[in-house]
């Protein structure tokens, strides 16, 4: 029933005894107390609020068991800011007022962070298509799309700087 697992979360190893049936999202929230990852739809896996990175790739942490993440690396929204400085995408979200209640925000940040890595200069249509797996019920997406667009431009500028 129980199993010892080791999961690296935001660079830190966590060794825990967990029940096989424990969902990854519940491991993150209730076992290691990282409550930035949210539970929205609770079982269908359609809202995206629980999106985290599994070895760098966005996945829904309510659609997998914690034991499945044994030996693997997870990044949650708590892992985006470095030394207290928000990531470029997070900063853009605050500037564009891309969140109202904030419930969906952590999932969208995790999805969009990787989206901008795999598609550094997306069109507005591509940004909107990338958000299909994240439901926001209060801002209406306009600000979210604008924030992602601005972040893409800033990330491109940063890359140019680094290249110089």
Partner 1 sequence: MFPAPILEYFRPASVGEATRLLSGGAGENAHIIAGGQSLMQAIKSRLISPDALIDLQDIKALRSIHFDKNGLVIGAMTSYADIASDKRIPAAFAALCDAAGHVGDRQVRNRGTIGGSLCWNYIAACLPPTCLGLSATLELQNAAGRRRMVEARAFLKGPLETDRSSDELLIAIHLGPAAARTGSAYRKWGLVTDALPVVNICVSLEVGADHICREARVALGARSEGPTRVEAAELALRGVRKGDVRAIDAALDAAAEAADYQSDLWADAPYKKVLLRKIGREAVTVAFARASGEVGK
Binding site for partner 1 (CB under 8 A): 1, 3, 19-21, 23, 42-45, 48, 51, 54, 57-60, 62-65, 67-68, 70, 111, 115, 129-130, 132-134
Helix (H) or strand (E) holding 162: helix 142-163
Residue 144: alpha-carbon gap to chain centroid: 14
C-alpha to C-alpha distance for 28 and 144, rounded to whole angstroms: 25
Least distance from C-beta 86 to partner 1, angstroms?
Answer: 23
Tokens 């431009």 map to which residue? 153
Q: How far is the CB of 39 from partner 1 (least distance, A)?
A: 9
- Rounded to a whole number of angstroms, the minimum distance from the CB of residue 55 to partner 1 is 10
Q: Please say which residue, 4 or 157, places its beta carbon nearer to partner 1.
A: 4
Q: How far is the CB of 27 from partner 1 (least distance, A)?
A: 13
Q: Which is nearer to partner 1, 125 or 161 (CB)?
A: 125
Closest residue by Cα to residue 138 from 87, 81, 98: 98
User: CB of 83: closest distance to partner 1 in angstroms?
Assistant: 28
Q: Rounded CA gap, 71 and 138, in Å?
A: 37
The token pair that represents 72 in the structure block: 């693997």
Do 140 and 87 touch, CB atoms closer than 8 A?
A: no
Sign of CA dihedral 14, 16, 21, 27: negative
DSSP 8-state symbol, 152: H
Nearer to partner 1, 9 or 67 (CB): 67
In the bound state with partner 1, the residue whose beta carbon lies nearer, of 2 and 97, is 2
Residue number, 134 or 139, with CB nearest to partner 1: 134
């Amino acid at each position: 029933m129980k199993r010892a697992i080791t999961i690296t979360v935001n660079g830190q190893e966590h060794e825990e005894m967990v029940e096989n049936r424990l969902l990854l999202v519940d491991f993150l929230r209730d076992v290691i107390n990282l409550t930035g990852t949210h539970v929205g739809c609770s079982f269908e896996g359609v809202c995206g609020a629980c999106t985290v990175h599994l070895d760098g790739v966005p996945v829904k942490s309510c659609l997998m068991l914690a034991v499945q993440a044994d030996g693997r690396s997870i990044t949650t929204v708590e892992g985006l800011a470095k030394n207290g400085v928000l990531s470029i995408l997070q900063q853009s979200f605050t500037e564009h007022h891309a969140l109202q209640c904030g419930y969906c925000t952590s999932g969208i940040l995790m999805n969009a962070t990787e989206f901008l890595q795999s598609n550094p200069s997306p069109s507005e249509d591509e940004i909107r298509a990338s958000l299909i797996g994240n439901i926001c019920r209060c801002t209406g997406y306009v600000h979210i799309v604008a924030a992602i667009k601005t972040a893409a431009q800033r990330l491109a500028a940063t890359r140019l700087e680094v290249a110089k």
